Structure 1
Amino acid sequence: MANGNQTVVYVSEQVVVLFTCALSFLGSSLIILTFIIWSDLRTTPRKLLVYLSVSDWLSAVSYAFGVWKVFRTDSLDCVVQGAISTFANTSSFFWTVAIAVYLYVFIVRSNQRVADSLVLFFHIVSWGIPLAITVAAVSLNKIGYDASEVSVGWCWVKIHASDRVLWMLLTGKIWEFLAYLTLPVLYILIKRHIHIAHAALSEYRPILPNRPQTHSFTSMADVKLTLIPIIFIALRIWSTVRFILLLADSSARQHPVLVTLHGIGNTSQGAANCIMFVLLTQPIRARLCTSLCCCCSKCRAEGQHSQNNPHRPLEGQDAST
């Protein structure tokens, strides 16, 4: 299973993790493209989601390169890949929490002005802190080959660094732990506030127009508020388990199943966000279906036109010829 202080990454694990990297790449790209194409979707929460998708896009690309290459030494491309994935992964944690904080202030505190004013602060923290940590780690020669002990082929904190645990915490794990604690609390408070508001308006529901559709949208929003922290923890917990097993010096961290789950979890955030906020969002899903149908109809019409006119003469050519 392992050779000394090195976790073996099997070809089957590479294939699975590369596939999830591709899904996250496509999912993050779709979120960004829908934001660019449809101007009426450019709300502040959707902007925050786009910034998160940029981080997830960088993570997917850098992780895919690392998994495909499976580094063996502290080469230059190992350090570059490790630096990019460290920055993108840490930034993703910050933007995920930033979205929860924004929704909490906007919904629970009912203060859109304060929520919008936090966006600049989110930029400073979510880009600035990961960048500062990454630059410091690279400058102090802490990023490099980690023998896949807490990764799946990609580079992170050097496994032979004497203070590797400290840098593993600074470059990801401490922010991951904080996200585990913060996200459930914020989304539970948001759900509680929404449920209290619905209960207060329950006596007016029979006279509200379009009640079934409104109830459907409300139910979907309630499901999303429940799933967001659950999906985040379900995806990220495997890397946390391997980190704890590394601290305990347990060989269980090298088990192929755990390594595969770690690879899938760390590279699936972009795909999960796309499913939640694009494919399961009815207005955006309807627009995508309409666009696809229009493209298919246009292609069929052009193909039928070509079949009906197989010998159409060129300009200036005699039709009889």
Structure 2
Amino acid sequence: MQELPRVTGGNMANQTEVYFSEQVIVLFSCALSFLGSSLIIITYIVWSDLRTTPRKLLVWLSVSDWLSAVSYAYGIGKIFHTDSVDCVVQGAISTFANTSSFFWTVAIAVYLYVFIVRSNKRAADSLVLYFHVISWGVPLAITVAALCMNKIGYDASEVSVGWCWVKIQAPDHIMWMLLTGKIWEFLAYVTLPVLYILIKRHIHVAHAALSEYRPILANNSTAHSSSMADMKLTLIPVIFIFLRIWSTVRFILLMANSTARQHPVLVTLHGIGNTFQGAANCIMFVLFTQPIRMRLCNALCCCCSKCRSNQGTGEGDGTGQAQTER
């Protein structure tokens, strides 16, 4: 059986091989996340009536996911071998963007909790400024500190998939891996399910109370909207944990000094999980949101009809010109 082509990095004896097939899969995931994050941002810019505060927070999350997708794509496309300048730059950008994505994901959950459960829109809106300060400021401070202390660089793909992160040769690399991502990831694992469970519980209690006075689910469209919103509240933490858990597993295996972290399937799942968040958000909040989905379909139909009419006009002009020449 022919061995798959692979890329190895560095001169370290302990390193994870990144196969060419894994590169292709992760690059495709990066491309989907790039397109998904871009679509969320574009729809927000184009349609002004969609510019609600929750969707604005989603746009800032998409900016983080967009940066992550671009930086990860560069890393997996190149497969770094040493602590080069572009390795450090890529590692710094991905560290900042990835950590910021954690904060914005939790910020959206906090906003929805205050707005829905606490029924206080003014208090929820007042938190937006703090979200910006924390979600941009904390990741930036951590990244700058890691750069100043020379902790960002080549990690031999031990807890990455070709890209750079915390230098694996640093004696305190575990602490810096926690500080530049893993500790915030662990906190998100706990915070997101709790907040969304509380939100769902509040909505279900409110629906039950209202149903005593009027059958609010009698209308099919209302029932469909309610079930779709309920599904999203369930999927948000589930998808986040499912995508991120593979990098957490590899990190735990690294701390346990287990070679299982180098298994190709686990490496591939890690690569997809770290790069697919933007695409997952696009699926949930664009493709699974009926008003936006309908607008996109109408826009595509208009573009197709214009192209056909232009093509038909061009063909007609060509025919008329030919007859004139005859």
Q: What band does the TM-score fall into relative to the shorter chain? A: over 0.9
**Mapping for residues 119-158 of structure 1, pairs under 5 Å:** 119-158=128-167
**Mapping for residues 167-182 of structure 1, pairs under 5 Å:** 167-182=176-191
Q: Deviations over 1:37-68 (max 9, x none)?
A: 00000000000000000000000000000000
The corresponding residue for 1:105 is 114
For residues 170 and 310 of structure 1, the distance between their equivalents in structure 2, rounded to whole angstroms, comes to 66
Q: Which runs of 5+ in 2 are unaligned?
A: 1-5
For residues 94 and 69 of structure 1, the distance between their equivalents in structure 2, rounded to whole angstroms, comes to 28
For residues 121 and 64 of structure 1, the distance between their equivalents in structure 2, rounded to whole angstroms, comes to 31
Indicate whether 1:278 and 2:290 are aligned.
Answer: no
Give the counterpart of 1:219 among 227, 235, 239. Answer: 227
Q: Is the alpha carbon distance of 1:205 and 1:216 closer, same or farther for their aligned partners in structure 2, counting shifts above 3 Å?
A: farther
Q: Deviations over 1:287-314 (max 9, x none)?
A: 000000010011111111222221556x
Output the amino acid matched with 2:266: L
For residues 210 and 227 of structure 2, the distance between their equivalents in structure 1, rounded to whole angstroms, comes to 16
Normalized against structure 1, the TM-score is what? Answer: 0.96
The corresponding residue for 2:200 is 191
For residues 124 and 77 of structure 1, the distance between their equivalents in structure 2, rounded to whole angstroms, comes to 28
Normalized against structure 2, the TM-score is what? Answer: 0.94
RMSD across aligned positions (CA): 1.7
Shift of 1:210: 7.3
Q: Which runs of 5+ in 1 are unaligned?
A: 314-318
For residues 213 and 244 of structure 2, the distance between their equivalents in structure 1, rounded to whole angstroms, comes to 42
The corresponding residue for 2:3 is none
Q: Quick one: percent identity of the two aligned structures?
A: 77
The corresponding residue for 1:249 is 257
Output the amino acid matched with 1:260: T
Deviates more, 1:300-309 or 1:59-68: 300-309
Q: Is the alpha carbon distance of 1:10 and 1:202 closer, same or farther for their aligned partners in structure 2, counting shifts above 3 Å?
A: same
The corresponding residue for 1:300 is 308
Give the counterpart of 1:13 among 10, 14, 22. Answer: 22
**Mapping for residues 28-107 of structure 1, pairs under 5 Å:** 28-107=37-116
Output the amino acid matched with 1:230: V
Shift of 1:277: 0.1
For residues 61 and 22 of structure 1, the distance between their equivalents in structure 2, rounded to whole angstroms, comes to 8
Equivalent position SS for 1:203 = coil
For residues 99 and 26 of structure 2, the distance between their equivalents in structure 1, rounded to whole angstroms, comes to 19
Equivalent position SS for 1:205 = coil
Asked if the contact 1:205–1:211 (Cα under 8 Å) also holds between the matched residues in 2, the reply is: no
Output the amino acid matched with 2:289: T
Count of equivalent residues: 317
Q: Is the alpha carbon distance of 1:320 and 1:228 closer, same or farther for their aligned partners in structure 2, counting shifts above 3 Å?
A: closer
Shift of 1:212: 1.2
Output the amino acid matched with 1:100: A
Q: Deviations over 1:87-111 (max 9, x none)?
A: 0000000000000000000000000
Asked if the contact 2:217–2:223 (Cα under 8 Å) also holds between the matched residues in 1, the reply is: no
For residues 53 and 259 of structure 1, the distance between their equivalents in structure 2, rounded to whole angstroms, comes to 24
The corresponding residue for 1:261 is 269
Shift of 1:80: 0.1
Shift of 1:204: 3.2
Output the amino acid matched with 2:206: A
Moved over 4 A (4+): none
The corresponding residue for 1:316 is none
For residues 168 and 320 of structure 2, the distance between their equivalents in structure 1, rounded to whole angstroms, comes to 69
Asked if the contact 1:67–1:152 (Cα under 8 Å) also holds between the matched residues in 2, the reply is: yes
Indicate whether 1:240 and 2:248 are aligned.
Answer: yes
The corresponding residue for 1:202 is 211
For residues 74 and 145 of structure 2, the distance between their equivalents in structure 1, rounded to whole angstroms, comes to 23
Indicate whether 1:25 and 2:34 are aligned.
Answer: yes
For residues 320 and 32 of structure 1, the distance between their equivalents in structure 2, rounded to whole angstroms, comes to 51
Output the amino acid matched with 2:60: Y
